[in-house]
Structure formats: structure tokens, C-alpha cells
Amino acid sequence: MADPLAALLAQEAGRPPLEVHERLLTEAGAHPPETAARFYAEAAQAALEGGDVDATLASAERAVALSVEPETRSLARVSLAVALMAAGRAAEAAPLLDEWAGAVGSERIFQAALRTAGLLFWLEQYAEAASLLERLVDAARTSGQLDRIARPLDTLASLDYRQGRWRRAEARSREALRLARLTGSRFDIGSALTTQARIAGARGEEASCLKLLAAARAASEGDLLVGGYAATAEALLELTLDRPERAIALLEPIADLPLARNEPAVFLWEADLVEAYLRVGRRTDAEAAQDRFERRAAVTGRRWARAAAARCRGLLAPAEELDEHFQAALAADVDMPFERARTQLAYGARLRRSRHIGAARDQLRQALATFELLPAEPWAGRARRELASRSEGRAAAASTVEAVLTAHELQVAALVGRGATNREAAAALFVTPKTIEYHLASVYRKLGVRSRTELAVALAAPPKQP
């Protein structure tokens, strides 16, 4: 006898997740309780992909209430665990896994095992998640069930990205994408594309990143989970290419997603928003975003969130307090080399500006080594520029100025350094005064100056001899 749930899911493939959710709820009532429980568990997953956390929780609770048989109950309980985490109640989710996590590797309860692995990934239990995901992939390959490979394989790719194995992440995600396209899974296609886009974004590969994101958004229209992955990947690209205003425009709407508000480990977005605000001089907004981020990090206890929040606090803190916060970030037990190197880069840059040259050099060299290994060349370039800067005084050498500033920033710096007002510089360059303010803030930050007078000194300083 054909499985009614499988038949319905095949029929609804390609439709927006919340429409699938509604259809599953409607059809659940036509089946006996045990079968209906499976419909509700799938409805919870569809609601999660559609970004409706309340519907996710309600559907999962209904699945648990109706399920009796062990395999159905396992699926229902892990669906509830995922829903609780999405609702910001991760402490209630963990016990639902602890009771039976050892049994979830069975191929017969693939969906329960897959969702457990995804939840372990979000909970930063990376070794446990990887072990389960690899078992799922191996079992699917052995049995020839190609439709079961894409999602666990792409989740492994996401894990590889976090743990600094970017080349392997790309290879796994590309295979996942090929298989997802064969089976037609909208979510799996979009997820694999955004995994690859995030790597391209961190490397500053603009054309590749944007092409991947366009394909992801087209394939997974209406899927807010994929949409969140896409927005944060594009924001990372913009931050990598030093276009913080664009990053802000992409990240601010993320705060409206309940999943992003409740669980910081899903999209990894808040630290990027704080940094982007600081790069454009919006310190008040950075402080407000940081306060919210720190509260979420404390409530959830996620290691990445605590470390990233400490890094952001180090960026905001006065010079006499920066060691405390950056050291806390580095002391956190976070197996994410790219994030650690970003902390070392930020720490080294602040130490250099505080004239702690030896300590700055140590942090910057460690950051550079990681960025080169990944590789993440734009970030490596920043570390090299910081290492090349002369920090004995506040003025930068002329040769360093040319190496650090973009062409537009050099034009603005030259005009303002000669005494032009923002309005006069805007008229000379045929742009708005707001554009001049944006470039000038970037010039000040990159050169480590705080006033027009210091800028003029920096531009006039002759190169220093080594």
C-alpha cells in the first residue's frame, strides 16, 4: 500500500513551505492518529522552513500527542525539540534528545535521525552531529537511496565550513546540490547553494557568490530559512569587500525573523551587524545591537555567540578594557577557525592603535596564518596591512596610505586633507555629502586618525625607514 504522506509530499514538491504546511494540516484529519502524527511532524518541518515558529511548535506538539509507536514517537519528539529550539527554548529541547539519541541511527527512522543531527549542529555538538550525519550518508549510499543523501551531506558541508575545512565543504556541498537537483527538493537545492555562497562570500568572490545566491533564491522562493542563509551569506560578502552599508541593509531585516531572534547559532549574523555599524561610524546602533546580542548569548549559552559577543564588546570597549573582552573571546571553546582569526585581527588592530606593537604583531600573525590557510584572501590582506603599518605615531606613512585606501577614499582624503568641507568635496567629485561622510569615516578608521588635522598630517608624512 502506498504511503499517503510520501504521496502528498511528492505532490506538493515545489510549493512554498507554508502552503505545504497548511495542506499537511488539512490532510492529517483524514487519517488515523498514528499516521496523522507523521503528517503533523512534517507540517512542523514545513512551518520551520517557512519561518513560522508558532506553527512549527503547535504542529510538533500535536505530533507528540498523537504518536504511540516508537518510530513515529521518535520523529515527533525530535520535531518538538527542533521547534522548542526555534522558539528560544533550547533547554527544554535537549532532554528530548538525551532519552533516545543512541537509537536514532536506524535507517528506518531516517527523518528523526536527520533532524536530530541538525539540532545537534545548532547546539554546537559538532562531533556528535558529524558522526550521525556520516552514518546517514553511508547508509543512504549503501542502499542506493539517493534522495536521502543531499541534506545530511550539505549539513556536513556546513559543519566543515565552520571548522575551517572549506575545500572539503565545497566538494560535499556541490555533490549535495547535484543530488538535490535530481530529486527536486527546493530546500536542499537552496541550502546547498547558500553553503557554497557563504564560502565564496568569505573569500570575497563577488561574482560567484551573487550567482549562487540568485540561484538559491529562485529555487527556494518563500523558504525563509534558506532566505536567512542567503541574506547572511551576502552580508558576509559585503563585509569582506568593505561595503558595510550594504551589509547593514541585508542584516537589519534578519532581526524580524523569529528564528534569528531566538537562536543566535542558526544564521551567525549579529556579530557582523555590530561590526558593520562600527565601520560606518554608527556607534549608538552598534551599542544597541551589541546589548541585544549579549543578552541572547547569555540566555542560550552558545559558545560561538559568547565568543563573538566578547569580540564585539572588545571593538566597542575603551583601550584600557579591550584585553579583558578579546581574551574572553579567544578563551571560549569554539572550533571555528575563521571566527577566531577575525577576533585576532580585530584584537591586533586595536592593540596596534593603542601602541602595543609586540602584542599586536602576535595576534595579527596568527590571524594571517589562518586566513591564508583557509584561504580567505581579503581578510589576509587586512592582516598584512595591519602588520605593515607603522604604529609608533598616529600618522601613517604615505606609501601605507596608498596601499590601505581605495581609489575613492584617496580622492576624498586628498580633498579633505587640503581643507575642503564635505559639501565642497561632494561638489568636486559629483556625489552627495552623505557619500563623502561615508568614505571619510572609512578613511579615518583605516588610517587610525580622528580629525581632519590628523588626516592632513598622515597624508603629508614621508615614508618611514625600516
pLDDT in tens, 328-382: 999 997 899 999 999 999 999 999 988 899 999 999 999 999 999 999 999 999 9
For the domain spanning 1-96, the CATH number is 1.25.40
Q: Which three cell numbers stand for residue 302?
A: 552558545
User: pLDDT, tens digit, for every residue of 74-130?
Assistant: 888 889 998 998 888 888 887 887 554 444 444 457 888 888 898 899 889 999 999
Cis peptide before 375 (omega within 30 of 0): yes
Q: Is the model's pLDDT at 395 over the cut of 70?
A: no
Kindly indicate the confidence band of residue 43, based on its pLDDT and cuts at 50, 70 and 90.
very high
Q: Which three cell numbers stand for residue 454?
A: 590628523
pLDDT of residue 65: 94
Write the CA distances from 273 to 228, 267, 289, integer angstroms: 14, 12, 8
Q: Tell me whether the CATH fold assigned to 1-96 matches the one assigned to 106-241.
A: yes
Q: How far is the C-alpha of 232 from the C-alpha of 247, rounded, in Å? A: 8
Q: Is the model's pLDDT at 148 over the cut of 70?
A: yes
Q: How many residues does the chain have?
A: 466
pLDDT of residue 316: 96
Kindly indicate the confidence band of residue 419, based on its pLDDT and cuts at 50, 70 and 90.
confident
Write the CA distances from 213 to 209, 231, 268, integer angstroms: 6, 9, 17
Transcribe 262-331 into DSSP letters. Answer: H-TTTT--HHHHHHHHHHTT-HHHHHHHHHHHHHHHHHH--HHHHHHHHHHHHHHS-GGGHHHHHHHHHH
Q: What is the pTM of this model?
A: 0.78
Superfamily of domain 106-241 in the CATH hierarchy:
Tetratricopeptide repeat domain (1.25.40.10)
Q: Is the model's pLDDT at 391 over the cut of 50?
A: no
Domain 398-460 coded CATH 2.20.140.10: no
pLDDT of residue 398: 47
Q: Which three cell numbers stand for residue 136?
A: 546517514
Q: Taking the alpha carbons of 326, 353, 341, 255 in that order, is the dihedral positive or negative?
A: positive
Residue-range domain boundaries for the chain: 1-96, 106-241, 398-460
Q: Which of 137, 125, 195 is nearest to 166 (CA)?
A: 195
Kindly indicate the confidence band of residue 392, based on its pLDDT and cuts at 50, 70 and 90.
very low
pLDDT of residue 394: 40
Q: What DSSP state is assigned to residue 396?
A: P
Give pairs for 363-368: CB < 8 Å, separation 24+.
366/341, 367/341, 367/342
Q: What are phi and psi of 424, to 5 degrees?
A: -65, -40
pLDDT of residue 191: 96
pLDDT of residue 66: 92
pLDDT of residue 85: 87
Strands (E), 172-266: none
User: pLDDT, tens digit, for every residue of 155-199?
Assistant: 999 999 999 999 999 999 999 999 999 988 899 999 999 999 999
User: pLDDT, tens digit, for every residue of 235-265?
Assistant: 999 999 999 999 999 999 998 888 888 888 8
Kindly indicate the confidence band of residue 400, based on its pLDDT and cuts at 50, 70 and 90.
low
Judge contact between 441 and 245, C-beta under 8 A.
Answer: no
Q: What DSSP state is assigned to residue 395?
A: S
pLDDT above 90 as % of the chain: 55
pLDDT of residue 420: 85
pLDDT of residue 107: 43
pLDDT of residue 407: 67
pLDDT of residue 218: 95
Q: How many CA atoms lie within 13 A of 277 on its CB side?
A: 21
Q: How far is the C-alpha of 331 from the C-alpha of 328, rounded, in Å? A: 5
Q: How far is the C-alpha of 216 from the C-alpha of 207, rounded, in Å? A: 14
Q: Is the model's pLDDT at 224 over the cut of 80?
A: yes
Q: How far is the C-alpha of 251 from the C-alpha of 133, rounded, in Å? A: 30
Q: Which of 141, 204, 209, 203 is nearest to 176 (CA)?
A: 141
Compute the mean pLDDT over every residue in the chain, rounded to the nearest whole number: 88
